[in-house]
Amino acid sequence: MTHPTSRATADLPAVEAMDGPAAVRAVDAFRLVYAEAFAEPPYRETEADIALTFDRFHAEAAHPGFRATLARTAAGEPLGMALGTSLGRRSGWWDPYVAPADRPRTFCLLELAVRTAHRRHGLARRLHDALLQTTDADRILLTVHLAATPARAAYRSWGYRTIAEVDPWGNGVHAVMLLDRAATGGDQ
């Protein structure tokens, strides 16, 4: 599954929604965006960190609930990306934040990133919204580093609320944030 969610114009790059197999075919574009965005503070990811993330990317993309969005210029240059997956009956480290009855209706936003030169133009919101259009989940869950103040502010403005603060990976405290689309009428 791959389909454009918007047409490119002079001001707006195309945003393409993808399932796992399509995302795997575009892995180099996802990796480029991720590596640039997460090398910056507060994440400061190294090449080794990025390699681990993209080892997991292939496993995550194999999950039937995996979805991604990718923004590119008309020439194909990747500008931003978002990816996530639906939770199954077992949710791993998310278990404390998602009741068993809520897992089938919960989607996890795993990554959202925009390359530095393309920020502050609404692209992150377009990627986010296009990704959420690929799922009918009532609940969207994510983590964001507490020091990523602009990202946390954006998520709050999009309707997310913080439900916990944790350090699941040993690289700093993250806010666990939830968007309850059922409570907001599903308009996110």
pLDDT digits (tens, 9 = 90+) for 82-99: 999 998 766 677 788 888
Distance, CA of 162 to CA of 40 (rounded, Å): 23
Summarised one tens digit per residue, pLDDT across range 117-166 is: 889 889 999 999 999 999 999 999 999 999 999 999 999 999 999 999 98
Provide the residue count of the chain.
188
Is the previous residue joined to 42 through a cis bond, with omega within 30 degrees of 0?
A: yes
Three-state DSSP class for residue 175: strand
CA 80 to chain centre: 10
- What is the distance between the alpha carbons of residues 135 and 106, in angstroms, rounded to a whole number? 9
The structure's pTM equals: 0.88
